[in-house]
Amino acid sequence: MDVSLKIVTHLPIRELWRKDGFTTTSRGRSLSKNEITQLLQAGPVQFAVVDVGLPPLGIAINDCYRFWRDEAKSHLPSAGSKVVLSQQPDGYCYFASEWDSETTAPIVVLEKHH
């Protein structure tokens, strides 16, 4: 199958892919805001945003700090809190998980719920 035609059909995802052929099914732990902050303090992170009906969106690794500050951080609910989407900023939130990486940068997948 042509990966450029693949889209996310449900959440949570069981596989992460990119147009360049990279694929992984190694989903790791769920991540909190604090845990992502710790990963970013250690170095760059490869963010991927997944949303039903769209292909995964990889955020350029050199843009990870701006993306975290301007987009992701405010849309990640507090750990253990009950999520009411209508009460989230802009009506959506992300749930984060760490995935095994073939590179040195950790992969953080943000699953968008709206």
Provide the whole-model pTM: 0.92
| 98 touches 36 (CB < 8 A) | no
Tens digit of pLDDT for each residue in 64-94? 999 999 999 999 998 777 888 888 889 999 9
For residue 32, give its domain range.
Answer: 3-113
d(CA 23, CA 90): 31
Residue 56 above 90 pLDDT? yes
What domain count does the chain have? 1
- Residues 66, 50, 2, 20, CA torsion sign: positive
Pick from 59, 65, 38: nearest CA to 110: 59
